[in-house]
Chain A
Amino acid sequence: GQNIDQPTEMTATEGAIVQINCTYQTSGFNGLFWYQQHAGEAPTFLSYNVLDGLEEKGRFSSFLSRSKGYSYLLLKELQMKDSASYLCAVRGRDSNYQLIWGAGTKLIIKP
């Protein structure tokens, strides 16, 4: 079967760094997405990885290892507004370009 695993909840301190992990088992691989979802709002696109390595975008970075079926989202200089759920989604080999979604990691930022 196809599966995406992420921690359910994490807590971090304002100004610190946090790493949210995602492991996946899918039928083929054609890209991994990270989305941010604030409570009561729609998911918004953060990053996309299709090749191994680190993609940096401001305070957020995303890493991918295809051989390990593993990705992480790194958030630096945490701000209170970063409190949200972070969703990992993988595009498999399905020709319909559909995404397989994780349940999300709820990140709580404390002052």
Chain B
Amino acid sequence: EAGVAQSPRYKIIEKRQSVAFWCNPISGHATLYWYQQILGQGPKLLIQFQNNGVVDDSQLPKDRFSAERLKGVDSTLKIQPAKLEDSAVYLCASSLESRGAGSTDTQYFGPGTRLTVL
């Protein structure tokens, strides 16, 4: 079974530029998450999708960040314009979204995109 795919793996941009990240979840996984992870910290949830609908985007800085999952499969996360404090690793994760008794609904992560804003 193929894992979660992300691209690019690394990106360096200057502040005020825009950048986009792409994620392809594990086949059949209904739930997709975008996280921001700053060095030395745990992942911070930015947005959660279930199929092509947004479940939670309460921590997404909507003045500069946007995300979509148009067909309920692939997703893109965009930052426009970028700030220095956006330098972080952006992780995409997916889960099966089975909520029955005994289900763990484990999240599986992609390799991440390391963003450096200069």
Instruction: List B95-118 residues whose CB lies under 8 Å from chain A.
Output: 95, 97, 99, 104-112, 114
Q: Is the interface of B mostly helix, strand, loop or mixed?
A: loop
Contacts of B41 in A (CB 8 A): 103-104
Interface centre among A4, A43, A87 (most CB of B within 10 A): A43
Contact indicator A103/B42 (Cβ below 8 Å): yes
How many positions in chain B have a CB within 8 Å of any CB in the partner chain? 24
Docked Cα-Cα span, A50 to B103, in Å, equals: 10
Instruction: Give chain A residues whose Cβ lies under 8 Å from the Cβ of B105.
Output: 97
Q: Which residue of A lies closest to B45 (CB)?
A: A98
Taking a contact as CB atoms under 8 Å apart, the answer to whether B111 and A48 are in contact is no
In the bound complex, how far is the Cα of B55 from the Cα of A108, in angstroms? 38
Contact check, B56 vs A96: say whether CB atoms are below 8 A apart: yes
CB-CB under 8 A from A104, the residues of chain B are 40-42
**The 7 nearest A-B residue pairs measured at CB:** A101-B42, A42-B109, A48-B104, A103-B42, A43-B109, A96-B55, A42-B112
